[in-house]
Structure 1
Amino acid sequence: MDFGTWPPLLVVDVEGNGATPPDLVEVAAIRIEGGRPVPQPALCTLIQPPRPISRFATRVHHLTNQDVADAPVWTDVAPAVRAALRDVWIAAHNAHVDYRVLERHLPGWEPAGVLDTLRLARTALPEAPGHGLDALLAHTGITTGDIPGRRHRAAFDAHATARLLLTLAGRYPTWDALTAVAVPPGLPGAVTVPDHEEQTLW
């Protein structure tokens, strides 16, 4: 894989408040350059949600309402998030979730494309005992001890997912081969197969 052929790409992760639909409480993005994650996040911010964080959500990401009490509200950070994610590919584990939440919070925004490391892993590593992020990190031997923070916080998970993406990408010869597998149908960047009859002259 020639990583020099990759377009601008950010690996993203979001954490929510447990509501339906969820409000964002944290968003982070890690840039990939030259086949490596850039350690300093391109984007990382806590967000004070309009509704309280549920106890269930706190058990997952350990963020409490007190943690975000002094954080900016979404309208304050939205311009910076939109600017960071403009005209780039994004990647995430189970990318439908992150993409749909961001899409709802950023009306009119659409990334250049979406890579899903869960979808990619299910194809590249069918023998893995599980395809959750923790199981895949263990199965591939990816270490995360040098990543600042903790699991289930946005910057940590984005960085870990970036390492997983690059490990899986090494199994594909080209960017096009990678995206043919990793982009979920119906999301930006998906390859559209032309209808044969529409392409035929009668």
Structure 2
Amino acid sequence: MLSENFSTLLLEAGTDEAGRGCLAGPVTAAAVILPQGFFSEKLNDSKQLSEKTREQLKPIIEKEAVTFHVIHLEPKIIDKINILNASIKAMQECVLNLNPSPEYIIVDGNRFKPVNNIPHSCIVKGDSKYLSIAAASVLAKTYRDEYMNRIHEEFPMYNWKKNKGYPTEEHREAIRKYGTTKYHRMSFRLLPEQLKLEL
């Protein structure tokens, strides 16, 4: 069972991201403050949940949350500042957009940079330990999936509706065949046999 709180403070925000390992699309972050006493039997790390369960949880989290925010950071920014910095920046921006502002932040993973001097803790596998991080992971994943479904309509040959931009064999084969799009991360190793794609 996931824990409700890490600190003893009421306004504790959980934050997480989705899409770090993708070859295309944004990195998406979410931050959530849940009310005291929030309970959900289904809520867990979004990677452990089915797409159907994530979709069921999304409106519940949005309705019940004290506040939440979701942000997409585009491939151009990822290419400019690298994926780690982009992930941290996206989570920071989410936290800055929470109203009320959190008194404490818990972050999934082991890297974060302070925001407005708000104390924080990084928790490895935090999305399977704390409700607010799990809620953030569900929002980040569902919002990013929706984004990938939208851009799939623009470039259906990459089948982003299914692979969501991850480096599947099918996705790489499509890059080999059709080249890259404005949604691809050019700083990533898009094809295994070459370090940089010839443009």
Give TM-score, length-normalised by structure 2: 0.33
Higher RCO (Cα < 8 Å, 6 or more apart)? 2
Higher helix share: 2
